[in-house]
């Protein structure tokens, strides 16, 4: 009688331990302990749902019948408040905050963080899927060139003439004047109606003398705080302050015989 090899049929036949070793239920769900079966797909260690499980997404559409029509079509009308517009989520616009902080003269990291803590700007979030769908629906010309255009070079003459500084100073002055005019208008409108005189202001000599203000020097240009104290000459060529003052006095007297707007050019020729 021929001997036959005993066969073991169980849940642990295709695990790392086989028929030997300790058997734990977690081995049947661990990918490291499972072994492949020839001619069968991998189970991946997950249990399949039952026979009554339906795959797919739920279909929430209601099938209206005659009963719904007799009941007044419940559920088809809008709510009492009417159509409500869903508020889309927004995110902080850090690019706008950075530009506004630089425009206000805030260049240091602590100043920028304080500005962000006291100001807020929002924008709609960037949707990559929506942008991709728009790009697919667009018809691009055959000569379309993809990429980012190169930034034009900064003209050196604008840098030498300080045009960017002058433009920034002018914008700041316009902002301050607009803010001041808005504040004056707010004060006038907040005053009682009887004291406004219906927008008519009669200026007399006494009124002009009372509102006269002594002329003051204009505010100096804005400078970086880090350069107000540290930007000093490294070399002191004069031994004393009196020697420096004497040199400047000699320069003032020497300007008479020199050419140029500032009297620092070449000496003029003697005229007979």
What does the mean pLDDT of the chain come to?
A: 77
Q: How confident is the model at residue 116 (pLDDT cuts 50, 70, 90)?
A: very high
Please choose, from the candidates 19, 16, 17, the residue with its C-alpha nearest in 3D space to the C-alpha of residue 31: 16
Tens of pLDDT, residue by residue over 143-198, are 888 888 888 888 888 888 888 888 888 988 898 899 988 888 877 766 665 555 55
- In DSSP notation, 35-88 reads ---TTS---TT-PPP-TT---S---------HHHHHTT-TTSSPPTT-PPPPPP
Query: What gap in Å lies between CA 67 and CA 75, rounded to an integer?
Result: 13
Ordered alpha helix ranges (H), the chain: 66-70, 94-103, 109-118, 128-137, 156-160, 163-190, 205-210, 225-230, 241-254
| 142 three-state secondary structure | coil
Provide the pLDDT for residue 202: 64
Task: Answer for the pair 116, 97: CB distance below 8 angstroms, yes or no.
Answer: yes
Above pLDDT 70, what percent of the chain?
A: 79
Highest mean pLDDT among 42-51, 74-83, 240-249: 240-249
Tens of pLDDT, residue by residue over 233-263, are 778 888 898 999 999 999 888 888 888 888 8
Provide the pLDDT for residue 183: 85
Does 45 have pLDDT greater than 70?
no
Q: What is the pTM (predicted TM-score) of this model? A: 0.30
Provide the pLDDT for residue 117: 92
């Amino acid at each position: 009688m021929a001997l036959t090899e005993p066969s073991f049929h169980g849940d642990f036949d295709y695990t790392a331990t086989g028929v030997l070793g300790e058997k734990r239920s977690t081995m049947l769900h661990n990918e490291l302990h499972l072994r492949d079966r020839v001619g069968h797909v991998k189970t991946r260690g997950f249990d399949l749902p039952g026979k009554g499980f339906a795959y797919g997404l739920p279909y929430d559409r209601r099938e209206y019948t005659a009963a719904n029509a007799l009941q007044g079509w419940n559920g088809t009308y809008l709510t009492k408040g009417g159509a409500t517009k869903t508020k889309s989520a927004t995110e902080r616009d850090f690019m706008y905050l950075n530009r506004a902080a630089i425009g206000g003269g805030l260049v240091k990291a602590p100043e920028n963080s304080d500005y962000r803590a006291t100001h807020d700007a929002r924008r709609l979030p960037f949707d990559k899927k929506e942008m991709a769908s728009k790009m697919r629906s667009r018809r691009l010309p055959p000569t379309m060139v993809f990429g980012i255009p190169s930034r034009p070079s900064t003209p050196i003459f604008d840098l030498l003439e300080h045009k960017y500084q002058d433009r920034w100073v002018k914008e700041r002055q316009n902002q301050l004047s607009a803010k001041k005019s808005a504040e004056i208008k707010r004060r006038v409108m907040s005053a009682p109606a009887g004291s406004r005189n219906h927008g008519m202001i009669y200026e007399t000599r006494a009124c002009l003398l009372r509102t006269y203000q002594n002329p003051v020097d204009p505010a100096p240009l804005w400078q970086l705080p880090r350069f107000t104290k540290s930007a000093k000459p490294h070399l002191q060529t004069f031994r004393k302050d009196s020697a420096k003052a004497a040199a400047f006095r000699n320069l003032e007297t020497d300007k008479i015989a020199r050419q140029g707007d500032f009297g620092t050019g070449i000496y003029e020729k003697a005229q007979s």
